Structure 1
Amino acid sequence: MILAVWLPFLVPLLAVPVARRVAPRLAPRTAACLLLAGGVTLALCSTVTLLVVVASGVLQFGPMASLAGLPASWLNGYAWLTVPVGWVATPLLVAGTARLVWVAARQTREVRTARAEAGPVTGELAVRPDEHPYAYALPGGRRERHRIVVSSGMLRALQPAEREALFAHERAHLTGRHHHFLRLSRLMQILHPGLRGLHEPLVYALERWADESAADAVGDRRLAARAVGRAALVAKAFEGPAPRPGTALGVTSGPVPRRVAALLAGPGEDHEGRPTRSSVPAWLMLAAALAVTAYSAEHAVIDLDATIRIAQYVHGLR
């Protein structure tokens, strides 16, 4: 169990840079799904393993061992390691759970506040009287529809055709439910801090996904690129971040020059979405990392369960 316990904590340190290498070689939609699925898998496996570590340490405590029907020293061979590690892991698990709940509640609160500030729902578009140029996709609730929030300053900065490209971009964020991607990304970073490196490429993939959808909607890649570039330029002229929820994506998110270059290059002319031979080893390493992590977490749970059952059986015979 010792080796299986440590692998889910260590493998993400290798898997994250590999995923960052693989993602740019994929189509934006595929890259976003891969980054999210891989990150969530690694986060859940490390959390399950942390629970195993906590259980191994806590059950070494006399009263807890008695409640579980275990002898006082049921892990004799590993007690010197499991006890201190388990007791250190316990406050980490409690603190992580508390922060997870707090961040999830804050995300929900931010979205609700943004909905209230956007006013009553009268259509897809919510125009805010604000000189600060911004636009973002605001997800709706169970009884509320999604909205595109845009400031009057952003509308004045763009030409009519560019506005349509902007709206198509934000609409793609809503139809693709990209806010869920971003929300899960924030939460999985809490479960394993080593997964923070996946957030930047995930945001880029989501923005590229929306860029391509906008280009298809308006039928002009150059127009989409011009809308993205101009929106970013006018937003940069204002100091301070745009007033939007942390889980809401806007047209100016991510590395804008790189996004504009990809739109201007055209489909098939840039490297995105075209796996090469050099990416095959990275693919294999990433798949192996995910498989090893999942197997290690499962093995740790099964091993702990078997050890407890054997200890309970032996204790019952005495």
Structure 2
Amino acid sequence: MHLLAYLPLLFPALAAVAARPLAEHLEPRLATWLLTASTVALAAFSTAALGVLAVAGLVRLPLVAWVGHWSATTVRAGDPVSTAEAALSCLLLATAVYAALRLLWRRVRALVAAGFEAACLPGIDELVVLEDPAPEAYALPGLPGRVVVSTGMLDALDEADREAMLAHERGHLAAHHYAFVAATHLAAAANPLLRPAATAVAYTVERWADEHAAAVCGDRRQVARAVGKAALASRHTPDRGRLSAAALGLLGMRRDPVRRAGPVPRRVAALLKPRPPRYPLLPLGACAAVVGASGLCAFAAAHDLHVVLKLAGAG
């Protein structure tokens, strides 16, 4: 059990190393789904492994052994986890649960606030134009979601650029990109080793929206020009921090706990290249192997602890 319980704590480091290459070379929709699913699964398995180590330490305590009707001698003989390791695991588990619950509460509040903000915006159409010289464009999730554009952004773009920008924002709403970003940030809160993966997902959802806009407009170069022009227009505009934390914009997320989405030049460069292959087998197989191995190790560690407790109860 000893080694098996520690392996799920190390697998997220592989995700941290592989996150950016996967985000750069995979088709954006596939990259988003793959990174999100892998990140959430690895966070769950690493948290479960910490739980196994923590329980292995707690059952050593005479009071816990008495309550569970376990033989403390049998537990100590069959459990290789030291008291120091178990104490550290308890501390890390409590920290991970607290961080995840705290971020979950903040995300729920942000989503509710975004819903109210979307409902209170003027008009009933999906598109809302605000009188504001600052160039801004973002998608606000809600029931329904809204695409918010400032007059400053409209003035900075020509008609073709506006079409690309609006298609980008509608792509965010249609694919519920905020849910992917929120899920990976929650996983990163539970296991900080997964922060690079969460940052990569914040980038891939922007690339996904870029590709959606390119499909709508039929011109990848036009979308690249729109992204570049919007970035130049916003370069000298201070980030006033008034956007909802749930908003996804043409230039990336604002006020993000795992920083902004990937740099705009990388997105422009990707749009100027051919679209990446949709289903490359090697990355898919590698991710499945890492996640599967992590889950198998966590399950095996929990099973070994169960066997020890069963023997201790019989004894």
Q: TM-score range by the shorter chain?
A: 0.7 to 0.9
Deviates more, 1:202-211 or 1:104-113: 104-113
Matched, 1:255 2:263: yes
Range with bigger deviation, 65-74 or 15-24: 15-24
Superposition deviation, residue 60 in structure 1: 1.3
CA 63–262 in structure 1, closer or farther in 2 if over 3 Å, else same: same
- 1:111 corresponds to 2:111: yes
CA–CA separation in structure 2 for the residues paired with 1:80 and 1:112: 47
Q: For 1:285-310, what per-residue CA distance to the aligned partner results, in whole angstroms no more than 9, with x for missing partners?
A: 44432222111011011111111111
SS of match in other structure, 1:265:
coil
Aligned match of 1:131: 133
Match of 1:202 in 2: 201
Matched-pair contact (CA < 8 Å) for 1:169–1:251: yes
Give the Cα–Cα distance (whole angstroms) in 2 for the partners of residues 298 and 79 of structure 1. Answer: 16
Where 2:124 maps in the other structure, the secondary structure is coil
2:70 and 2:139 map into 1 onto residues whose CA distance is 54
For residue 273 of structure 1, what is the amino acid of its counterpart? P
CA deviation map 1:147-183 (0-9, x unaligned):
1122232222222322221111011111111101100
Alignment of 1:299-310 (within 5 A): 299-310=300-311
- In the alignment, what sits opposite 2:277? 273
Report the equivalent of 2:95. Answer: 95
- When residues 84 and 74 of structure 1 are mapped into structure 2, their CA distance, relative to the original with a 3 A threshold, is farther
DSSP 3-state at the match of 2:248:
coil
* CA distance in structure 2 between the aligned counterparts of 1:187 and 1:311, rounded to whole angstroms: 37
Note the C-alpha offset of 1:117: 4.1
Q: Deviations over 1:39-69 (max 9, x none)?
A: 1111110011111111111121111111111
How much does 1:201 deviate?
Answer: 2.2
Check conservation: 1:60, 1:74, Cα contact below 8 A: no
- The Cα shift of 1:204 comes to 2.2
Q: Tell me the number of residue pairs that the alignment of Structure 1 and Structure 2 aligns.
A: 304
Aligned AA for 2:130?
Answer: R
Q: Which moved more, 1:173-182 or 1:200-209?
A: 200-209
Is 1:48 matched with 2:48? yes
For structure 2, the residue ranges without an aligned partner over 5 or more in a row are 253-261
Question: What is aligned with 1:122?
Answer: 124
In structure 2, the residue matched to 1:292 is 293
| Other-structure match for 1:178 | 177
Unpaired stretches in structure 1, ≥5 consecutive residues: none
How far 1:87 moved relative to its partner? 2.1
Give the Cα–Cα distance (whole angstroms) in 1 for the partners of residues 207 and 79 of structure 2: 51
Shift of 1:25: 2.6
Residue 144 of structure 2 is matched in structure 1 by 145
Closer/same/farther in 2, CA of residues 297 and 57 from structure 1, 3 Å limit: same
> Would the alpha carbon gap of residues 262 and 19 (structure 1) be closer, same or farther in structure 2, given more than 3 Å must change?
closer
Question: What's the TM-score once normalised by structure 1's chain length?
Answer: 0.87
Q: Are the aligned partners of 1:22 and 1:283 in contact in 2 as well (CA < 8 Å)?
A: no
Secondary structure of 1:148's aligned partner: strand
**Alpha-carbon separation, structure 2, partners of 1:302 and 1:241:** 52
Quick one: distance in 1 between partners of 2:21 and 2:63? 49
**For the Cα contact (< 8 Å) 2:99–2:190, is it kept in 1?**
no
Greater mean alpha carbon deviation, residues 170-179 or residues 238-247: 238-247
